[in-house]
Every structure is written in C-alpha cells, then in structure tokens.
Amino acid sequence: MASIEEILKNKGVVTPKVSKRPDGRAPDELREVRITRGYCKHALGSCLIEMGDTKVICAANFEDRVPPHVKNTGSGWITAEYGMLPSSTAPRGAREASRGKVGGRTHEIQRLIGRALRAAVDQRELGERTLWLDCDVLQADGGTRTASITGAYVALEEGLRRMQRQGLIARNPILDQVAAISVGIVDGELVLDLCYDEDSKADVDMNVVMTGRGRIIEIQGTAEGAPFEREQLLAMLDLAQSGIAQLIEKQTQAIKHL
C-alpha cells in the first residue's frame, strides 16, 4: 500500500509522516473480526458481527407480502432497517422512536444496506415475500454501515437456507457473497477499516461493497476535508478489495456448517 505516497509525491502533494493508528494496526490491517451466527433465537437467520469495538446484531426475517411497487410481479423484495441503541455511542444518542422520526443518516444507511443485499440475490426466487434485514448497532466505533452489510449477508444466507429446508423456496437464490469495508485517507495516509477516531478526522472516507468475485456493487467516496485525486480513488479501491477478500473468508467460515 506504499504506492499511494509515491503517486501523490509525483503529483506534488506533500504527505505528513505516517503516524501510528490509534489501535496500533498496520494501515492495511482489518480490526479483529468475529461473526457469531445464530445469535437471535427468534430470527430466521442472524449473527452478531464484531469488528473491533463495533458490534452489530444482524437479523433476517420474512413476511408474506411485498411493497406496492413489487406487487403482482411474482418477485420478492429485500429491504433493510438500521438502528443504533442510545447507549451505543458516547455521548448517548437520542432514541429515534422517541424523536418520532427516522433521521437522514439512518435513512441513507438502511437504503445502502438494502441495495447492497438486493444485488446479492435473485429476488424472483423468493416468491411474493419481503425479506427484512435488521441491523442494530449495540456498540459503535466506526464502520457500522459496512459491518451491517457484511453481517446482514450472513443472516440472509442462514435465513434463506432455512427457507429452502422448509420448502418455502425451491433453490438458494443467492448470486454471490457480499461484503463491505471502509477505507480512507487519514493524516495523509491511506488506511483500511477506519475506527471512529480515524473516521472523525479523515480527509476522505470511502465505503465499498463488493461481491465474492471482486466486482463492485456500490462505491461511495466522500471528501470530508479536501477533494481527492483519481489516483487516490484507485489506491483506496485496491485497499478495499484486499479487506473485502478477508471478510468474504470470515463469512465463509461462519456459514460453512449451515
């Protein structure tokens, strides 16, 4: 990953000396990833995904109806909802239920999760059913939306397998695995899997969703501080791909005995 510095040097961009990451990781190192499948007794499929101090419960459930725009198409629909426990952040976050509305950030995240997972599945195989993916953050330390996508995939696969065994669907409609990770530029350095401290001071923050075969489902890069170059985008994309490959492997381990 040293190439980013050279690329930028060639363009005359001066980067500060590489600083240690808050938790001592190498720039291209993921936090410790743990996926506990079957975490929720009552869900069709579920897991607890932990990426360092970020902890998200992901659960899949279905209901026998679809939203109006899918009705009478014979196809199913996958949708997601995202929430954060008030105690998942410091300072305590206000409860959206009490405020009486879902905030803009929540809307943006749950739409992203839904799009990402719909790309993983042939929804025509689901019948006229909605699959709900609930991603609830127990503890937040950066990267909750990407952890949600990676975990939601595991919950979804567990759920679909159960539906298949119960004869509700004829075959597994999954097209490919899906995982997501954040990358960014922090203090001039390219880093993988940003924790909250890094995220809050990043110049560029990018979330990438990819399939098991390395194709892109979604890429969202934002210049929080200063605009960035095409070359930085490519370096971030490469770094993201290396991280996603590791997450795909973690998912594979989590679901191999299904």
Applying CB under 8 A, which residues contact its own copies? 40-43, 46, 53, 57, 59, 61, 63, 81, 83, 85-92, 95-98, 100-108, 110-111, 115, 119, 132, 134, 136, 138-141, 176, 210-211, 213, 215-223, 226-230, 233-234, 237
Nearest approach in angstroms of CB 60 to its own copies is 8
Nearest approach in angstroms of CB 233 to its own copies is 6
Residue number with CB closer to its own copies (140 or 181): 140
Nearest approach in angstroms of CB 250 to its own copies is 20
Residue number with CB closer to its own copies (153 or 228): 228
Residue number with CB closer to its own copies (79 or 164): 79
Cα–Cα separations (whole angstroms), residue 191 to 33, 206, 240: 17, 10, 9
Instruction: Burial-class residue 227 by CB neighbours within 10 Å (0-12, 13-18, 19+).
Output: exposed
Nearest approach in angstroms of CB 157 to its own copies is 16
Nearest approach in angstroms of CB 16 to its own copies is 19
Instruction: Burial-class residue 93 by CB neighbours within 10 Å (0-12, 13-18, 19+).
Output: middle
Pairing of strands 33-37, 45-51: antiparallel
Residue number with CB closer to its own copies (26 or 234): 234
Nearest approach in angstroms of CB 211 to its own copies is 5
Half-sphere exposure of 155 (CA within 13 A, CB side): 33
Residue number with CB closer to its own copies (96 or 187): 96
Residue number with CB closer to its own copies (107 or 165): 107
DSSP 121: B
Query: Cα–Cα distance between 142 and 197 in angstroms, integer?
Result: 8
Neighbours of 185 (CB within 10 A): 27
Query: Cα–Cα distance between 141 and 143 in angstroms, integer?
Result: 7
Residue written as token pair 């990953």 = 1
